Amino acid sequence: MDVEDHAGGQRAAAQTGRLLDLLEAAGAQGTFFVEDAVVAADPALVRVIAARGHEVASHGHRHCPIAEEAPASFRAGMATARDRLADVTGQAPMGYRAPYFSLTPQAAWASDVLAGLGFSYSSSVLPAWNPLAGWPGAPRRPFLWASGLLELPVPVARVGPLRLPFLGGMYLRWLPPWRLRWMAGRWAAEEVDGALWSYCHPYDLDREQALVHRRDAGAFGSLMLWLNRGPTLPRLQGLLEGRRSVTFAERLPALRRGAVTWLPAGALQPAPAE
């Protein structure tokens, strides 16, 4: 889960609690990427996530696409976010997920910064064209950046002309279940050698929240993000049935062994050392 709070207040904590209960009932574990603002506002929530056996990782120091920031300010912000998580949980986070899967060609330098800050892996690339953020041509299986940072791209499958991160967020809510099953089969048939995983946000589960106009989504996007939240929990439950779900941290050695090294052509040069 990407634990973020677009509305303020305690809503994110309550919805995270519902997901924690579902995971516990299913005997499943997961990785929670927590936005720095939530870590600062509600360290108790972060401790509960860790105490219930899940991995706590970072969802960044601000909820904006990486490329909107200069490397030096990203580095400084992420160092603060990392240190705050380490203070709260007692250990430095291994993983990072960019807001909006925004590790794009314009932000290629970020992999070096993250490796330099001691992160082991990132789960921030959407390996397809996407209207929000994507990296067409990036490997669809786990890969290593030149820095040694392991990247776990979000699983995508074809829907018409697009490849979508079908198992998470809004797609998980809006695509019919038969379509999700078909796409999961298609993903496997394309022999993508990696871990199939889902993702969601506190708001995907929040059925009582009033409509919030999100500046990052526009009017139509805000409506789509608000409607049809009821199916999220049952669908996550369906995905967990008959499957073993563990944290990324637990899978890391195996994923790293199977990873290819990828040197993107035409990407921006790594950030200069400071």
Contacts with Zn ion by CB under 5 A lie at: 2, 4, 99
Q: Nearer Cβ to Zn ion, position 4 or 206?
A: 4
Smallest distance, Zn ion to C-beta of residue 61, A:
12
Smallest distance, Zn ion to C-beta of residue 161, A:
25
Q: Nearer Cβ to Zn ion, position 140 or 201?
A: 201
Q: Nearer Cβ to Zn ion, position 5 or 144?
A: 5
Q: Nearer Cβ to Zn ion, position 2 or 112?
A: 2
What's the CA gap between 149 and 261, in Å, rounded? Answer: 10
Which strands, in side-by-side order, build the sheet including 31-34? 2-3, 31-34, 55-58, 95-96, 121-122, 150-151, 143-144, 260-261
Q: Nearer Cβ to Zn ion, position 103 or 192?
A: 103
Smallest distance, Zn ion to C-beta of residue 2, A:
4
Q: Nearer Cβ to Zn ion, position 232 or 270?
A: 232
Contact 146/261 with Cβ under 8 angstroms?
A: yes
Smallest distance, Zn ion to C-beta of residue 212, A:
14
Smallest distance, Zn ion to C-beta of residue 66, A:
12
What's the CA gap between 173 and 154, in Å, rounded? Answer: 17
Smallest distance, Zn ion to C-beta of residue 225, A:
11
Smallest distance, Zn ion to C-beta of residue 218, A:
16
Q: Nearer Cβ to Zn ion, position 2 or 204?
A: 2
Q: Which residue is nearest to Zn ion (CB)?
A: 2
